[in-house]
Structure 1
Amino acid sequence: MGWLLDAHVHVLGADVLWREIIGNGIGLASAVLGMNRRTAAWPVGMIANVLLFTVFLGGVFATPQDTDLYGQAGRQVLFFAVSAYGWWRWHANRAAGSGAPAVEPRWATGRERLTLLAATAAGVAVAWWALTRLGSFGPLADAWILVGSMLATYGMARGYVEFWLVWVAVDVVGVPLLLRAGYYPSALLYVVYGAFCVVGFRAWLRLRRAPQPATDPQLEAIG
């Protein structure tokens, strides 16, 4: 498997792993599927998680970027777990809805927002403490990226429209961190992700505002 770990391309004077390029490309494909409320978004994203986990532990796998971003690597593990939940939830929604979309976009309630805000504050504090002691690069920024990513992924599974905005906030912090750490393809894709999340937010907002049919079209056809 050494060839898979070492395969890279030389770009602008730097060695860039093919795993990083391919993993981020697959991650973008997962985001596109998620915007279109396709259940396949979850298993596709899980493939990207596996690849990117090895990328962000550059020191462990002795790759060109020898900086370990433990928060970035750890979030791939958590992504995998939360994605399994999202896959199950969207599949169950589709099965129960007799052909209905896997999720119906909605705003989180005030109580849900307060709960998530408290969980985020606690999560960032704990992650910052842990990542600092692990020696992670940029521990505070890495802590927010880790916790914010989990919040956004959970929000997507639940159908919260706000999850797109959380992703934008993650990208704003992630781009400078990844540039400083030398993960240039990931930084570039974070910029693309940020723009895409704005598009996704507008798409889900339109779905949320769209008038719902008063009756089931299938029942009307029967009548």
Structure 2
Amino acid sequence: MGEVILRFLNAQWDVGLGRPILWREIVGNLFGLASALGGARRRVWAWPIGILGNALLFTVFLGGVFHTPQDLDLWGQAGRQVFFIITSVYGWVAWGRYRRHHSDSRDAVRPRWATPRERAVAGAAAVVMLVVFYLALEALGSWGPASDAWILTGSILATYGMARGWNEFWFVWIAVDLVGVPLLLSAHYYPSALMYSFYGLFCLYGFLTWWRSEHPRVVSDDEGDAVG
């Protein structure tokens, strides 16, 4: 079994783009996609699936440490996988608790907009994290520390917002993707860049799904008018 796992971790695919890519980067992003789909549908299983993807991608983004084909250390990208795991455990527990207390519903969270106070606290936390992460990532020699700090900060806020059921977290993800795609392309992490591009579009679907669940009467009225 250990040999099979080792072979999977080291498996590469040469796509003719100058450097081969790791299969575990592809698989890790597929887990992330499955987690995003589960999150859009407000299912508890989204969190453990996401944790599996985070664990794989942690080893991918420390290319210099784990000697991957990219051979670049994106400490912010790797660090956010750790924060993802921590926040995902919180989300897993929170959504599981909600699901147990609302056994008549299939949903594991009730979507809502953050309150003005919650937005202010999140905004202040974002500024602090941006500064701290930039200084830390620059000291670590991360490749693209400013972009990496932006992505790490946004990822933490978005994951926490998802755990709390805030509709705003979908827009935070879009802001992360806008910076993440060019960064990952320039660093030759092509599967991750492709998934970031897809996530940006998927976030629009996710937001509409949450919004409709929050306004079922509006959707029903619209459908009734269309039929009439």
Task: Please give the TM-score of this superposition, normalised by the length of structure 1.
Answer: 0.93
The question of 1:11 aligning with 2:15 is answered yes
Please give the secondary structure, in 1, of the residue aligned with 2:167.
coil
* Runs of 4+ that moved beyond 3 A: none
Q: How does 1:99-138 map onto structure 2 within 5 Å?
A: 99-100=104-105, 101-138=107-144
The count of residues paired between Structure 1 and Structure 2 equals: 212
AA aligned to 1:142 is: D
Q: Quote how far apart the aligned CAs of 1:205 are.
A: 1.3
Please give the secondary structure, in 2, of the residue aligned with 1:116.
helix
Partner Cα distance (2:6, 2:70) in 1: 16
Partner Cα distance (2:11, 2:142) in 1: 25
Q: How does 1:25-104 map onto structure 2 within 5 Å?
A: 25-100=30-105, 101-104=107-110
Partner Cα distance (2:32, 2:100) in 1: 25
Q: What RMSD in Å do the two structures reach over aligned CA positions? A: 1.1
Partner Cα distance (1:2, 1:67) in 2: 21
Unaligned runs of 5+ in 1: 213-223
Please give the secondary structure, in 1, of the residue aligned with 2:59.
helix
Q: From 217, 221, 227, give the equivalent of 1:211.
A: 217
Partner Cα distance (1:109, 1:59) in 2: 42
Please give the secondary structure, in 2, of the residue aligned with 1:211.
helix
Partner Cα distance (2:71, 2:102) in 1: 48
Is 1:72–1:146's contact at 8 Å kept on the other side of the alignment?
yes
Partner Cα distance (2:103, 2:37) in 1: 23
Aligned twin of 2:163 = 157
Q: Quote how far apart the aligned CAs of 1:99 are.
A: 2.9
The question of 1:199 aligning with 2:205 is answered yes
Aligned twin of 1:219 = none
AA aligned to 2:11 is: A
- 1:108-155 deviations in whole A, cap 9, x for unaligned? 011100000000000010000000000001101100110100100000
Partner Cα distance (2:8, 2:108) in 1: 35
Q: Quote how far apart the aligned CAs of 1:96 are.
A: 1.1
Is 1:43–1:83's contact at 8 Å kept on the other side of the alignment?
yes
Unaligned runs of 5+ in 2: 219-228
Please give the secondary structure, in 2, of the residue aligned with 1:155.
helix
Partner Cα distance (1:126, 1:51) in 2: 26
The question of 1:176 aligning with 2:208 is answered no
Partner Cα distance (1:119, 1:209) in 2: 30
Partner Cα distance (1:204, 1:6) in 2: 39
Task: Please give the TM-score of this superposition, normalised by the length of structure 2.
Answer: 0.91
- 1:16-39 deviations in whole A, cap 9, x for unaligned? 100000000110000001100000
Please give the secondary structure, in 2, of the residue aligned with 1:107.
coil
Please give the secondary structure, in 1, of the residue aligned with 2:20.
strand
Aligned twin of 1:24 = 29
Partner Cα distance (1:203, 1:92) in 2: 22
